[in-house]
Amino acid sequence: MTKVKTALVVGGGIAGPVAAMALRQAGIEARVYEAYGSTAENVGGGLSIAPNGLAALKVIGADEVVRAIGLPMSSIVMHSWTGKRLASFAGPADLEPQRFVMRPDLYQALYGEAARRGIPVEHGRRLVSAEHLGAPDAPSGVRAHFADGSTAEADVLIGADGIRSTVRTIIDPSAPRPRYTGLLGFGGWSTGTGLASTGDAMYMMFGKRAFFGYQVFPDGRCGWFANLPHPQPMSWTQANKTGKQEWLRLIMEAFADDRMPVLDILRTSVESEFVAVGGMEDIPRVPHWHRGRMVLVGDAAHATSPSSGQGASLAAESAVQLARCLRDLPAEQAFVAYERLRRERVERIIAAAARTNSNKAAGPVARVLRDALLPTAMRLLAKPEKMAWQFDHRIDWPTPVTP
């Protein structure tokens, strides 16, 4: 019944630094290994941190660094392409608002906080393989092999290496690959739109041909995103081979018939802050989260599409919960407990996001049916208690985890 003392964390994005900080709080020495040779301070678009994500970060004292960079988003107001208001979604009144952040800012904040706490991060360490140490039926640790020929050993290996996780494939060579949702993602900032502030509300629209969301802040800046249906998946590299101006032209074309101020926002988009994310993906279910002394966290275990608004928050939750389990139980028992505590919740959120994506990518016939049914459906769903199960989730860090 030997407790874990050391951990290798593969992946230095969002889940990796949070996992390392949580492990440190649990009394476990953690070192982060990142494939890229530099930090990712200029990669990614906007995202939201939900109250449950902030609560998870609060457990390890990292919530304030996120609040400092995030802009409040207390509700979402849905519209049809005609400009008709369909519904307004707000979280429970007793919870703080979500925070709208740019992924590079979130990455930099969490990376900086981990560094401030003395957690080592090694760059240019791309994992290629890993093996268990000790007896096959009772491993005592893990040895990781990196592309540069170096190796590292620890009691456990944690795969926080994203939706295309190498660790996931090592754990299960037949693990599912990412699923394309049928949508391309874009985002950016606009200035000088002339639009009034939307306060703490994010406005979203089911357009005739695409989906759009925006929030105008009191200082006049407007953060926006667009989801465009596209028949074929497109990687980040492929998407960025097309120039920003050409993408903006195509996006404006998609929203030309819609009666919301989308074109005003896109015309004033700041080119240097335009982001083409590429294809939006998810993985409905990863059958195996762990094997021996290896385990998955974040998108490696439960990749939800950006439509959920919960990707980063779920990653933070899982990282903290995993550390809590490793604090109290031997590795194999800890991994079983961690999966028991997390799987049902994350798969429910992934499924909900998939339903949202199907509405965003509706064809001409399905769009007519969607627009006819949406007002009634939105009125039923736009109640705080309907969303409480997502936002109210809390991790009971002080209570010991039992097998």
Reduce the secondary structure of 367-393 to three states and give it as a string. Answer: HHHHHHHHHHHHHHHCCHHHHHHHHCC
Residues 91/383, Cβ–Cβ less than 8 Å: no
| pLDDT grade for 26, boundaries at 50, 70 and 90 | very high
- Local confidence band at 23 (pLDDT 50, 70, 90 cut-offs): very high
Of 6-10, 24-28, 205-209, 327-331, the poorest mean pLDDT is in 205-209
Ordered strands of the 121-122 beta sheet: 121-122, 29-33, 6-10, 156-159, 294-296, 290-291
Reading the block at residue 258, the tokens are 């819609």
pTM of the predicted model, to two decimals? 0.91
Which pLDDT does position 39 carry in this prediction?
65
Taking residues 198-209, what's their average pLDDT?
Answer: 91
Query: Average pLDDT, stretch 23-36?
Result: 96
- Res 19 pLDDT > 70: yes
Query: How many Å apart are CA 170 and CA 15, to the nearest integer?
Result: 19
pLDDT digits (tens, 9 = 90+) for 235-278: 989 999 999 999 999 999 999 999 999 999 999 999 988 999 89
Sort strands 179-190 and 275-282 into parallel, antiparallel or unpaired. antiparallel
For the residues 27-38, what does the mean pLDDT come to?
92
- How many DSSP H helices and E strands does the chain contain? 13, 19
Cα angle at 378 between 374 and 384, to 5 degrees?
A: 165
Residue 12: the pLDDT is 92
Tell me the C-alpha distance between 209 and 270, whole Å: 23
**pLDDT value at residue 162:** 95
* Of 165, 140, 167, 166, the residue nearest 154 (C-alpha): 140
Round to the nearest angstrom and report the end-to-end CA distance of the chain.
12
Amino acid identity, position 171: I
Beta carbons within 8 Å of 324's beta carbon, 6+ residues apart: 22, 26, 395, 397, 401
Report which of 142, 46, 134, 53 is spatially closest to residue 97, judged by C-alpha positions.
53
pLDDT of amino acid 84:
87
Judged against a pLDDT cut of 70, whether residue 63 lies above it is answered with yes
Evaluate whether 227 touches 353 at the Cβ level (below 8 Å): no
Q: What is the DSSP letter of 269?
A: B
Which whole number is the average pLDDT over 373-395? 71
pLDDT band at 46 (very low <50, low <70, confident <90, very high): confident
* Site of tokens 């939307």: 198
List Cβ neighbours of 396 (8 Å cut-off, separation of 6 or more).
none
